[in-house]
Amino acid sequence: MTLAEFDEQYRTKFDIVCGCDEAGRGPLAGDVFAAAVVFEKGTVIEGINDSKKLTEKKREKLFDEIKEKALYWSIKTATVEEIESINILQSAMLAMKRAVEDLPVKPDICLIDGNKTPELDTLATAIVGGDAKSQCIAAASILAKVARDRYMLEMAQKYPQYKFEKHKGYGTKLHYQMIDEFGASPIHRQSFLKKYYAKLSEEQQKNR
């Protein structure tokens, strides 16, 4: 079954089928992004898949095609401050809720990637691995991922010492080296760094 065919199953019962996904739950820095996408019945976009399985170049190309061919789409965020206040899972749910509610129509059903659904004023179903099963979820994953990557490139210009353009805020060896050298920036998620700082402190105690 193709990703588009998966969605068509839902369209036998529901008129407006929305796919929703987030990007940026794992990084040590930056906002979490989410997107919501509604396609018209019969719309098929070739090459669409889980954003993690696509090259950056392919995602960029599909980003424009999705926005052009979608009936409706929306991209929203939850901030670093919100992540620190209510935790990353709740912030991802909040970003998805905002994306769905920002659509100009109320979906009849929302297909949510993962095993949890945000609190929505509409029917929602969680689909584990949904970004590799459903075209509208995969499209949402691409919009969220590309939008977040572009945001991290902006942050790279604002905080050039952290080299965000290379790791997009994820916990790579280079990123940790930059944190060691410059400390945390205003867009770092302090709660994500607690374990790292605790480990560093432990190592320093051992080396005394």
Alpha helices in the chain (DSSP H): 3-11, 56-69, 80-86, 88-102, 135-158, 164-167, 173-182, 190-206
Tokens for 77?
């965020």
Q: Give me the pLDDT at residue 51, please.
A: 78
- Check if the beta carbon of residue 157 is closer than 8 Å to that of residue 185: no
DSSP secondary structure letter of residue 39: -
DSSP string, 87-131: -HHHHHHHHHHHHHHHSSS--SEEEEESS-----SSEEEEETTGG
- Domains of the chain by residue range: 3-158
Q: Supply the pLDDT for residue 208.
A: 58
Tens of pLDDT, residues 28-77: 999 999 999 999 999 999 999 877 889 999 999 999 999 999 999 999 99
Per-residue pLDDT tens over the stretch 94-121: 999 999 999 999 999 999 999 999 999 9
From residue 205, how far is each of 46, 51, 182, 202 by CA, in Å? 55, 42, 21, 5
- 3-state class of 76 per DSSP? strand
Token pair, residue 51, equals 């954003």
Say what the pLDDT of residue 20 is.
Answer: 98
User: What's the fold here for domain 3-158?
Assistant: Nucleotidyltransferase; domain 5 (3.30.420)
Dihedral over Cα of 86, 111, 151, 49: its sign: positive
**Residue 171 in this model has a pLDDT that exceeds 90:** yes
Q: What is the pLDDT of residue 207?
A: 63
